């Protein structure tokens, strides 16, 4: 049986933010409302300058790029 371990989006976001903290960045989830059209579901902020660096981020793709999610894990929908 090849089932993958589920990781909640909240837990994955925390893992990503621990990795981004070394670079002075943080990923945020956009609250429901009008700003989701401008920012997408997730966005990354430079904490030292308080500016948005990246918009419309795919949480799972960034987690894979940073090594925050393993091959045997997947995001719970």
Q: Which two tokens stand for residue 59?
A: 């949480």
Give the domain ranges of the chain.
5-70
Q: Is 0.85 topped by the overall pTM?
A: yes
- Concatenate the DSSP letters of all residues of 5-34 into one string: EEE-HHHHHHHHHHHHHTTTEEEEEPPSST
The string of pLDDT tens digits covering residues 6-20 is 999 999 999 999 999
pLDDT tens for each residue of the chain, 77 residues long: 568 899 999 999 999 999 999 999 999 999 988 889 999 999 999 999 999 999 999 999 999 999 999 989 999 98
Distance CA 34, CA 23 (A): 29
């Amino acid at each position: 049986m090849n089932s993958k371990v589920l990781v909640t989006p909240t837990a994955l976001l925390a893992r990503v933010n621990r990795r981004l903290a070394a670079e002075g960045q943080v990923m945020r989830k956009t609250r429901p409302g009008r700003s989701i059209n401008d920012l997408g579901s997730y966005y990354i902020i430079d904490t030292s300058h308080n500016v948005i660096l990246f918009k419309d981020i795919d949480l799972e793709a960034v987690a894979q790029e940073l090594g925050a999610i393993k091959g045997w894990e997947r995001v719970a929908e």
